[in-house]
Chains A and B, each alone.
Chain A
Amino acid sequence: MVTPIDRAELLRLIETEDTQVVDVLPRREYDESHLPGALSIPLRELTPETVADLSTQKPVVVYCHDGL
């Protein structure tokens, strides 16, 4: 289940928990700019293997460009 959050909640998660932030934009866009510390896992490359390094014990926040 995916829970939508806004910027304030994201900042709270980053500050208070060991949050994993994942950028699902294409790699070129990730290279251009991404949230500090974000991992790049482009949406088209999302597979059990590419997310295997993410901890299931910590919050995971995904984002794209603007939610559209």
Chain B
Amino acid sequence: MFDYVGGIADWKAAGLPFEGIADRRERVAEATRSDPIICRPDEPIVDVRSRQGIDRWEIAAVVDCDGVVVGRLRPAALEGPDDRLVKEVMEPGPSTVRPDGLLQPLVDRMERRNAPHVLVTTPQGNLLGILFQEEGRRVLAGESPTRIWRDCDGCPGRWAASAD
């Protein structure tokens, strides 16, 4: 016999499906992209600059060897000397959200705070993905995340706004 110690709280926090009559309002997990650009604290920024898709990125997650978020990196941070390390230019300890939280109030909060994106983690801080405010809005408007992200083919970590 096994005991799943984390219980259903851990299961939901990971954004996994569940059954029952619980509140079916949209959750953060439904609009969370699982393909953020990731870098390590001890990487030289020159290595991050050469990463595929970096030309269209807005934010990168900095994670330690256990996958725990320790910081975030904005494009301007890569403009320094090649030998600088990510940990020297990252913003440490960024705010993160859980995937089982309600999407609507989070997107509203992001809008009020002018926050275009937020990292999504487990309660233990392990990176699960990234939520973009505009993608959250589209999901709340009834668009399928799959369709939204198909529009974004080839732009890791970013949905490319369509011409229309």
- Chain A residues near B (Cβ < 8 Å): 1-7, 9-10, 13, 21, 23, 25, 30-38, 59-67
Contacts and interface: CB of A to CB of B under 8 A. Distances in A.
B8 A61 contact: no
The residue in A7, A59, A61 that gathers the most chain B C-beta atoms within 10 A of its C-beta is A7
Nearest to B5: A67
A66 B5 CA distance: 7
B137 interface: no
Interface size class of B (residues with CB under 8 A): 20 to 34
A4 to B, nearest CB: 5
Contacts, number: 89
Interface in B1-33: 1-12, 14, 16-22
A5 to B, nearest CB: 5
18 contacts: A2-B2, A2-B3, A3-B2, A6-B4, A7-B11, A7-B14, A10-B4, A33-B18, A33-B19, A33-B21, A36-B17, A38-B19, A61-B2, A63-B7, A63-B8, A63-B11, A66-B8, A67-B7
